[in-house]
Amino acid sequence: MSNASHAELPKSVDPYRLAEQASTLEGVVPISGLGRFCEAIFGFTEGAVCRVKLSFFMDGERRRVVSGELEAPVELECQRCMGAMSTTLVSRFTLGLVTSDEQAQQLPKELEPFLTNDFTANLWSMVEDELLLVLPPFPLHDRDECPAREDLEAYEPDSSAAEPVRTSGENPFSVLADLKKTKH
C-alpha cells in the first residue's frame, strides 16, 4: 500500500457509481472512530489510524465489486500473559455489492456480499466489519517477547530446545505436546 493519502476515507459514498467509474479510494479511518472494533481490542495508540485502499469496479459479469486492503496497528491481549501485545492487522477482501438477500445468494462463492441500502454505503462500517473478521481468536506474543515465558520455562527444563513446539506432526514428548495444546 502506498503512503499516498493521509486524508480520512469518506464515510458515505455511492458504491455503484464508484464501480461504474472504476474508482479507487485511499485514505485513513481513525481507530477511535470505530466503536465496536475499539471494544473488541485491548487498546491502540492515541491517533492510530487504519490505512485503507478500496478499488471499485465492474467484473466480467457486470457485477459491482469492491476489493480492499486494510492495515491497522492495534494492541491485543496476549492470551498467555494477559498483557498488551502490539500487532498490525492486515486484511484483503473482495465484496460484491448487493441491495437484497436474493442478490446476495446469487453471488459466486469468491465474493462476500456487501449489503447496501438506497445506493449508499458506509465505508467506515465496511472497514470495521473487515477488521473484526481478521482479529485473531487467540493472540499470543512471540515466545521470546512474552512476559509469561518464565512460567512456561518452569515446565520445560531444557528451554534452549524449546522451538520444536512450533513443528507440526507427532511429537514423542508428552510435555511438549501439552505445551502445544496450551499454545493454540
Size of site (CB under 5 A) for Zn ion: 5
**Which CB, 63 or 143, lies closer to Zn ion?**
143
**Which residue from 143, 141, 144, 125 is spatially nearest to 133, judged by alpha carbons?**
125
Cα-flanking dihedrals φ and ψ of residue 54, to 5°?
Answer: -125, 125
**Which CB, 78 or 121, lies closer to Zn ion?**
78
Neighbour-count burial for 1-39, b at 16+ CB within 10 Å, e otherwise: eeeeeeeebeeebebbebbeeeeebbbbbebebbeebee
Site for Zn ion in 50-89 (CB under 5 A): 78, 80-81
What is the closest distance, in whole angstroms, from the C-beta atom of residue 88 to Zn ion in the complex?
Answer: 17
Report d(CA 99, CA 69) in Å as an integer.
Answer: 23
**Which CB, 146 or 179, lies closer to Zn ion?**
146
Q: Which three cell numbers stand for residue 167?
A: 513443528
Site for Zn ion in 118-147 (CB under 5 A): 141, 146
**Which CB, 33 or 73, lies closer to Zn ion?**
73
Site for Zn ion in 147-166 (CB under 5 A): none
Residues near Zn ion (CB under 5 A): 78, 80-81, 141, 146
